[in-house]
Amino acid sequence: MSQQLSEQEVIRRDKLKALQQNGIDAYPAALYPVSYYSANIKEQFSEETKEQFSHVTVAGRIMSINDKGKVFFIKIQDSKGIIQLYVKRDDICPGEDKTLFEKVVKQLDLGDIIGVTGFVFITRTGEISVHAQTLTLLAKSLKPLPVVKRDEQGNVYDAVTDPEFKYRQRYADLIINPEVKNTFIKRTKLINTIRDFLNERGAIEVDTPVLQNIPGGAAAKPFITHHNALDVPFYLRIANELYLKRLIVGGFDWVYEFSRNFRNEGMDRTHNPEFTVLEWYTAYKDYFWMMEVTEQVMERIAIALHGTTDVQVGDTTLSFKAPFKRVTIFDAIQEHTGIDVSSMNEEELRKTCQQLNIHVDASMGKGKLIDELFSETSEHKYVQPTFIMDYPVEMSPLTKKHRSKPGLVERFELMVNGKEIANAYSELNDPIDQRQRFEEQLELMNRGDEEAMFIDHDFLRALEYGMPPTSGIGIGIDRLCMLMTNQPSIQDVLLFPQMRPEKLEQE
C-alpha cells in the first residue's frame, strides 16, 4: 500500500527537503529548556514584573502566521494556551547573514512546532507577546490541521465536530480543540480525588490479573484469547471482584483497584467494550454503610471538580448533596408500570414483559426478566442520585441474602441521570450458598444465556477458608466522568475509544 498525498502534503514534504538541503535538522534531538508557558506569562506579566520576563524560552505549535515580510506575527499553542510571537528578521539574524530567516522562518507552516528565546512585551494593540531573539524549528508538520477560526475573545467558529474525526484522530482533536483537554484533566482529578478519599481511610490499592482463566465477578460476555505457553484459553477480565474478595479472605481489611475491564457486548453512548471501573471491598461492613460512604465520595468529587455539590448536566442540575433517595426495585417497577411483580414466577414475569412490549427470549431466567423490566420501564426515570435497592436473589449471584426480606438480597445500584453509576452488595460469604448460586448460573448458561457466570472453583475454595462480613462496590468511572464533565457520550471521556478499523485508500 502506498500513501496518497494531498497537494498540501506534497508542498510540506518539499519544504522539508529544502530544510534538509540547507543543513537544517527539522527534528532535532537536543534538549529544549522551556522556562515559561503561555498562561504563566499572561497571568504574571506587568510593568512591575517585566524584568522577570526579560529572558524567556517558550515552545509550542504554530496556530497562525501573519507574514509582514521582514516581520512575522506567529501564534503558538502550548499545553497551557496560546501566545503571540513577534519574529523580526534583523533580530533573529543579526549582522549580514539573513539566510536563517529565509531558510527556516519563510518555510514555516501551521502545525510546525518551534521554540523561541526572547523577552516579553506588550504590542501597540495591547497584546502580551514574546519578542523573539532566537528561533528553533523543533518538529516539521507534514499534515495540515483542519482549520478552526477563532476571534480575539477566543470564540470558535467552524469547529470540527465530526465524531469520526474526533475519536479516531484524538491527537488532532486535542490540537484544534484544546478545550477537549479540560475533560481529561478533570477525569484525572476525579480519579485522584477518589484515590485520596480511600487512602485517607486506610484502604490499600492493589493490582489483580487482567488475563483470567475464568471470567468471573459479573454477568457479561467475555473476550477470549489463547495463552501459547500454557496452551489454554484465557479471558480478558470482565470484573476484578473475585480476586479482591480473595484478598479480604487473606486478611486485608479494605482493598481497591481502578480496573480496566473488557466486555464483548454492544457499543452505544454509555457503553464501550473497554472501560474503567473502581471496585473496593471492606471487611466487617454492609450495604447500609456502603450507601453512606458512596454519598460521601460523590459529594467530595462534585466539590473537587465544581466547588459545589450541584453539577450541571445538559439542562438539568444534579444535586450530589447527601442523603440520596432510596427506593426498592419492586417499588420502582410498580411506581412506573402500576404492576406489582414482587411475587411473580418466571412465566408470569415473561408474560408481563410481553404485555409491556419488552423483548424477551427463552434463555432469560427470573432475574434477567426483572432486570429487563426495570431497565425498560424505570431506570431512565431516576435523574437525581437515587439508590435502587433490595434486588431479587435471582439477579444477584454474588450477594448476601437479605437479613429480613426472604427472596431478596442486600444490594443497591446508584442511578443518576437515568443510568447506573455504581453497584454494591453486602457480599455473599457463605461458600455453600455461593456454590448453589453458581450452579444456577450454569443452568442459565446451558439455556443459552451468554452473560451467565462461570463457576470459579478456586474462589469457592477461598470462601471455604472463611471470609468476614464484607461490603463491596463497583463504580463506573467513565459514566461518572460523563456526569461530572457534562459530556453526552462515553466516547467523549475516553481518549481513544474503540472504533471499527479504518479503511485506508490503496492505489
CA distances from 454 to 36, 218, 394, 436 (A): 56, 9, 15, 12
Distance, in Å, from the CA atom of 454 to the CA atom of 445, rounded to the nearest integer, reads 8
**Cell 529548556 sits on residue:** 33
Q: Do residues 363 and 346 lie in contact, with contact meaning Cβ atoms separated by under 8 Å?
A: no
Radius of gyration (C-alpha) of the chain in whole angstroms = 29
What is the secondary structure of 382-423 as a DSSP string? --S-EEEE--BGGG-TTBPBPSSSTTBBSEEEEEETTEEEEE
- Residue 342 phi, psi (nearest 5): -60, -30
**Cell 455473599 sits on residue:** 428
Distance, in Å, from the CA atom of 476 to the CA atom of 297, rounded to the nearest integer, reads 13
Closest CA to 218 of 474, 393, 465: 474
**Cα-Cα end-to-end distance for the chain:** 7
The annotation status of 420 as a binding-site residue, yes or no, is yes
**Cell numbers of 230, please?**
500454557
Closest CA to 176 of 190, 156, 194: 156
**Cell numbers of 40, please?**
504563566
Burial 442-454 (b: 16+ CB within 10 A, else e): eebbeeebebbbb
Closest CA to 115 of 176, 30, 12: 30
Distance, in Å, from the CA atom of 385 to the CA atom of 480, rounded to the nearest integer, reads 12
380 alpha-carbon distance from chain centroid: 22
What is the secondary structure of 51-92 as a DSSP string? GGGSSEEEEEEEEEEEE-SSEEEEEEEETTEEEEEEEEHHHH
The annotation status of 451 as a binding-site residue, yes or no, is no
Q: Do residues 468 and 245 lie in contact, with contact meaning Cβ atoms separated by under 8 Å?
A: no
Give the neighbor-by-neighbor strand order of the sheet with 274-283: 204-205, 254-262, 274-283, 470-476, 419-426, 411-416, 386-389, 325-328
Distance, in Å, from the CA atom of 427 to the CA atom of 77, rounded to the nearest integer, reads 51
Mark the binding-site residues, compressed into ranges: 413, 420
Mark the binding-site residues for Mg(2+), compressed into ranges: 413, 420
